[in-house]
Structure 1
Amino acid sequence: MTDILRISVPLTAWLVAFSAVYGLHGLVCSDRWVAAGLDLAVGRAAMAAAWIVAIALQVALLLALRSPRFASPSAFMRGVSLTLSVTALVATLWTLMPVVTTSACL
């Protein structure tokens, strides 16, 4: 694994999860969701499932970056990649929590 991937993958995964969950939120609140025969409870469950998958992915990336197989040989790059991975995990928890825990549609 190259150093650029070690640095960029966790934050890119957060960006993808952020876009997916908020896009799903927009879909759940649209008329198309009801037209498909789905209700708000299914939408909330789908958003919660997407959030849990995003958290699991971030934890897996963090554990992979800590393992000797994927860790950088450079101590500096190891520290940077682990710091960014923890940052991406916290961002996943913090920025996606309001969509999952508050009212879905206003």
Structure 2
Amino acid sequence: MTDILRLSLPLSVWVAAFSAVYGLEGVVCSDLWSRAGLSLDQGRAALVAAGIVAIAVQVVLLVGLRMPRFASGLPWVQRTAGILACVALAATVWSLLPVVTTSLCL
């Protein structure tokens, strides 16, 4: 794993997860979802499941970056990658929390 990948992957996964979950919310709130015969409860379940998967991926990245197999030869890269992975995990939890706690379609 290259150093650039170690540094950029967690935040890139956060951006992708954020986009995917809120894109899915747009689909759930559209007529397409109801025309498919799906309810808003099923939409919320899909959104929560997508959020859980995103958080799990971030945890796996955080743990993986701390493993010796994926460690960098440079201590500052290893430390910075760990900090960025923690920030990405916190950002994922924080940005996906409204999906669970607020009303789905306004």
Query: Structure 2 length as normaliser, TM-score?
Result: 0.98
2:104 aligned residue: 104
**Deviation >3 Å, runs of 4+:** none
Query: Structure 1 length as normaliser, TM-score?
Result: 0.98
How far apart in 2 are the matches of 1:14 and 1:40? 25
State the 1:31 CA deviation: 0.7
Amino acid at match of 1:26: G
1:69 aligned residue: 69
Structure 2 unaligned regions, length at least 5:
none
Is 1:24 the counterpart of 2:31? The answer is no
Amino acid at match of 2:7: I
Is 1:48 the counterpart of 2:48? The answer is yes
Amino acid at match of 1:102: T
How far apart in 2 are the matches of 1:75 and 1:86? 17
1:34 aligned residue: 34
1:15 aligned residue: 15
| SS of the residue 1:105 aligns to | coil
- CA-atom RMSD in angstroms: 0.6
1:87 aligned residue: 87
Amino acid at match of 2:41: A
Amino acid at match of 1:34: S
How far apart in 1 are the matches of 2:92 and 2:61? 13
Structure 1 unaligned regions, length at least 5:
none
State the 1:102 CA deviation: 1.1
State the 1:99 CA deviation: 1.6
How far apart in 2 are the matches of 1:11 and 1:69? 21
